[in-house]
Structure 1
Amino acid sequence: MTTAEPEFLTATRTFYDTVAADYADRYREALAVMPWDRALLGVLAELVTTAGGGRVADLGCGPGRITGHLAGLGLDVCGLDLSPRMVELARAAHPAIPFTVGSLLDLPYGEGELAGIVAWYSIIHTPAGQLPRVFAEFHRVLAPGAPVVLAFQVGDGALRLDRPFGHPVTLDFRRRRPERIEELAAAAGLTVTTRLVREPEPDERTPQAYLLAHRAA
């Protein structure tokens, strides 16, 4: 008997398949004006390299802008996204990087396979009740001592984005409290070692949070 897919996965996939091309065009050069984002990604790259390297997964990679940046920092990277259309665009933009369609709830990696994880605004569509499963998957696939860096909007509740770029789709963007995400990460065996919250830029609605955690060595 086939288990029905959770509704939030279907809604998220449909949303990003629909807006993929416009999204990729809008955010293609976004990192150029985001020094904190680049700094945290650079820290992750240094930690992985210092520990001896290994594959790093960009989970919720979208069209591959973060994945490509990590490759430019010298990392062996791969990308995973729920949206087939996003993966198609990522493969076209970065043909040397492997990209896979998949879900954070069931990662296609083996126990301890990854030297690092980037989850850049990729937990924001997952209901709170499913986050323990997501973090348990992060713990499962990370090598002992390996880092994971998370980015998300700070707040409570959700912002419902309706008709982005004029497309007839709607999706909830869930805000998170850093202390709650830290608790959930700790419960899954991921210890947060760095916390950063910055105030919103003029085109942002909320503060932005970054957490760096490690699987226990």
Structure 2
Amino acid sequence: MVEHDSLAATRDSYDAAALAYAQLFSDSLQDRPLDRAILDAFAELVRTSGDTRVADLGCGPGYVTAHLHKLGLAASGVDVSPAMITLAREAYPDLRFDVGSMAALDIADGTLSGVLSRWSIIHTPPQDVPAILDEFHRVLAPGGHLLIGFSASEDPSHPTQVFDHSVAPAYRWWPDHLAAMLRKAGLAEVGRMVREPQPEDKRQFQEVQLIACKAEAVVG
């Protein structure tokens, strides 16, 4: 279980920053063609299942949830911050947004064809991440896909590194280490995108987005 103090601190910090965050990032996909491309690929993989239900976990003010909806997915959002959920509901009243924790989702087993976790695990203490990956696996249907984004560490001998985040304490991950954790949780990597830092970026870290798939159910 994710440590209560860490979760509460993250919630309170994002509640305080919610309005400024929404104003800063609400149109950020417009200037990030690589992010749009991998979201497109994720949406296509989900649509091939025939069931388009997707949860955007750590949805913030909801702009990525709305983007997934435009891509033809039955997208809903979950965030630990009530203030973020209020903003998301105001901006996108036709979509569903709920306050909740990734560590204990109010979603039935095996009911989703897709889970999006876009920079939402970075505030979770590393020792608590495996339980969250298990929760992602639980809510995904067999053959369902996860798209998970995070900032990369540079040293494989130190698979997690703390970095200075403006809202709450955060961690970077060595990509292969996180991919191995996904495999242990029953989510096999099928592809990844690495975005190199650009001169205008505040943080000079690689950004990594992994797509993983839950194994199909064995018949017989």
TM-score by length of 2: 0.91
1:200 to 2:197 alignment? yes
SS in 2 for 1:146: strand
In the TM superposition, residue 203 of structure 1 has moved relative to its aligned partner by: 1.6
Q: Once the two structures are superposed, what CA deviation does each residue of 1:132-171 show, in whole Å capped at 9, x if it has no partner?
A: 100000000000000000111111411233xx5xxxxx52
- Equivalent positions of 1:62-77 (< 5 A) are 62-77=60-75
In the TM superposition, residue 197 of structure 1 has moved relative to its aligned partner by: 1.4
> Could you tell me whether the CA contact under 8 Å between 2:52 and 2:72 is conserved in 1?
no
| Count of residue correspondences | 208
RMSD (Å), alpha carbons: 1.5
- In structure 1, what is the equivalent of residue 33 of structure 2? 35
Which amino acid letter does the alignment assign opposite residue 215 of structure 1?
K
- In structure 1, what is the equivalent of residue 183 of structure 2? 186
Q: 1:105 to 1:171 in 2, by over 3 A?
A: same
Unpaired runs of at least 5, structure 2:
154-159
SS in 1 for 2:136: helix
Which amino acid letter does the alignment assign opposite residue 14 of structure 1?
D
- In structure 2, what is the equivalent of residue 210 of structure 1? 209
- In structure 2, what is the equivalent of residue 167 of structure 1? none
> Could you tell me whether the CA contact under 8 Å between 2:61 and 2:88 is conserved in 1?
yes
Which amino acid letter does the alignment assign opposite residue 99 of structure 1?
F
SS in 2 for 1:200: coil
CA distance in structure 1 between the aligned counterparts of 2:123 and 2:3, rounded to whole angstroms: 15
In the TM superposition, residue 190 of structure 1 has moved relative to its aligned partner by: 0.3
Unpaired runs of at least 5, structure 1:
165-169
Which amino acid letter does the alignment assign opposite residue 47 of structure 1?
L
How many percent of aligned residue pairs carry the same amino acid? 42
- In structure 1, what is the equivalent of residue 6 of structure 2? 8
